[in-house]
Amino acid sequence: MKILFLNGPNLNLLGTREPDKYGTLTLDNIQTFVGQEADKLNVEVDFYQTNIEGELVDKIQQAKGKYDGIVINPAAYTHTSVAIRDAILAVEIPAVEIHLSNIQKREEFRTISLTAPACIGQIAGFGAFSYKLGLIAIVDYIKSLEQD
Ligand code: DQA
């Protein structure tokens, strides 16, 4: 099983970016943490970060036929991107949306996700652990499809 982790804008700054909201782990640290869980679950994981909306759309399109699932933190594009939502719907690859912070507890504009309705579900508010939970959730979902 192959899972693609996609990370949107400013997540390359994790570690120093607003640590009170996003924690002190870097994206590399999180990737290592997710990799350890992936090994336990016996799944392959690829990680990608970009600040550019269209590159996220390209990655989602290119995932068709290569990945069984997507775990995505669209970052600020969560609240604005019809293009990412449409790309997830278009490829029909199961996706889980994740956030480090609890977006329901923050500014009102962050409580709206345009991308979550294209996903199986959303995990938010658990810091780096949201990434691990996202992996567990997508793997469990894909396995349940295989049993049908
Ligand atoms: C975020 C929440 C978004 O509102 C914000 O724009 C981010 C990070 C999170 O992981 O908590 O960049 O996606």
Per-residue pLDDT reduced to its tens digit, 76-120:
999 999 999 999 999 999 999 999 999 999 999 999 999 999 999
26 by DSSP, 3-state: which?
coil
Please give the distance, rounded to the nearest whole angstrom, from the Cα atom of residue 102 to the centre of ligand 1.
9
Look up the pTM and report it. 0.97
* Domains located in the chain, CATH noted: 2-147 (3.40.50.9100)
Any ligand 1 atom below 6 A from CB of 75: yes
Per-residue pLDDT reduced to its tens digit, 119-138:
999 999 999 999 999 999 99
Average pLDDT over residues 55-79: 98
Q: How many CA atoms are closer than 13 Å to the CA of 9, on its beta-carbon side?
A: 12
Determine whether 48 is an active site residue.
no
Please give the distance, rounded to the nearest whole angstrom, from the Cα atom of residue 146 to the centre of ligand 1.
32
Determine whether 99 is an active site residue.
yes
